[in-house]
């Protein structure tokens, strides 16, 4: 059985978008954070490798990563070109940028 060329060419290429990357990164970062040694600050675990003594920075980082995941997932699921999709895309990119800023801040301080 042979498939039409149009079917083969459409399935053989893989297109990776910015939202796919944000979704993958924001999904794996919390899994990696669970593997790091933590200290308990006010009852909340904070990784000692990067965020030692910076519990509010760590919590801001987690909120940003969560919003990035939510925005990317919503934009990819809906994907109809509406204002909602664009808003989710912008939320995702802005949240990932703020998560990177929190991470850089924790590494510099």
| Residue 40 maps to a domain | no
The count of domains in the chain is 1
The number of C-alpha atoms within 13 Å of 55 and in the hemisphere containing its C-beta is 9
For 41-66, write each residue's pLDDT tens digit: 888 899 999 999 899 999 999 999 99
Whether 89 is covered by a domain: the verdict is: yes
Confidence band, pLDDT 50/70/90 cuts, at residue 3: low
Residue 53 lies in a domain: no
Residue 46 falls inside a structural domain: no
Query: Which residues, including other chains, have CB under 8 Å from residue 44's CB and lie 6 or more apart?
Result: 55, 59
Task: Let me know if residue 66 belongs to a domain.
Answer: yes
The answer for residues whose C-beta is within 8 angstroms of residue 54's C-beta and 6 or more apart is 46, 106, 109
Taking Cα atoms as reference points, which of 74, 78, 80, 77 lies closest to residue 95? 74
Q: Which domain holds residue 17?
A: 3-30+60-108
Residue 44 lies in a domain: no
Q: Distance between terminal CA atoms of the chain?
A: 62
């Amino acid at each position: 059985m042979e498939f039409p060329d149009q079917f083969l060419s459409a399935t053989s290429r893989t297109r990776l978008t910015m939202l796919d990357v944000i979704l993958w990164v924001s999904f794996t970062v919390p899994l990696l954070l669970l593997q790091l040694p933590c200290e308990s600050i006010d009852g909340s675990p904070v990784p000692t490798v990067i965020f030692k003594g910076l519990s509010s920075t760590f919590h801001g980082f987690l909120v940003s990563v969560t919003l990035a995941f939510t925005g990317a997932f919503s934009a990819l699921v809906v994907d109809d070109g509406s204002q909602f999709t664009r808003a989710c895309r912008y939320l995702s990119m802005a949240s990932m940028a703020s998560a990177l800023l929190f991470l850089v801040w924790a590494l510099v301080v």
